[in-house]
Amino acid sequence: MKLLKYFLFLIILSTSIYFLIELNEINMVDGNPIKIKIPFIEESSSLFNGFSVWVILLMTFTLGVVLGFVISLIQMISLKSETITLKSKNKKIQIELDALRNQGIDEDIDIPEDININEDKFTL
């Protein structure tokens, strides 16, 4: 099953690289690839012209993967701590249950002899 999953990932990676190469070749204006400018980036000499379309797509894909990884990591840590807490509570309850099982039953139970039984009520 893992082999199939890795093969599927390789196919997706290959097709995405092919897509990015074709995208770069299609989006040409006057023989130059289209450039995209990103707002809030300092206007330095190398970034002033903008980035190629395939670079922007690759950056957004990478940002999405990293963000998804961080979110799943936070959820995994939260679930792990919850599991540890529940195991701790379970162990405490198990110890208490074992203590109650091992406790001797008192043979000297006092049962009152003068119980009057009325129709619906019990009185002592």
C-alpha–C-alpha distance, residues 85 and 115, integer Å: 49
What's the pLDDT tens digit per position in 37-72? 777 776 665 656 778 888 888 888 889 889 989 999
Greatest Cα pair distance, the chain, in angstroms, is 110
| Region 17-39 average pLDDT | 81
C-alpha–C-alpha distance, residues 54 and 68, integer Å: 21
Q: By residue range, what is the domain housing residue 17?
A: 2-90
**Quick check: 53 and 38 in contact, CB under 8 A?**
no
User: Does the pLDDT of residue 92 top 80, yes or no?
Assistant: yes
Provide the domain count of the chain: 1
Residue 78 has phi, psi (to 5 degrees) of -60, -45
124 found inside a domain: no
122 found inside a domain: no
pTM > 0.75: no
Cα 51 vs. chain centroid, distance in angstroms?
33
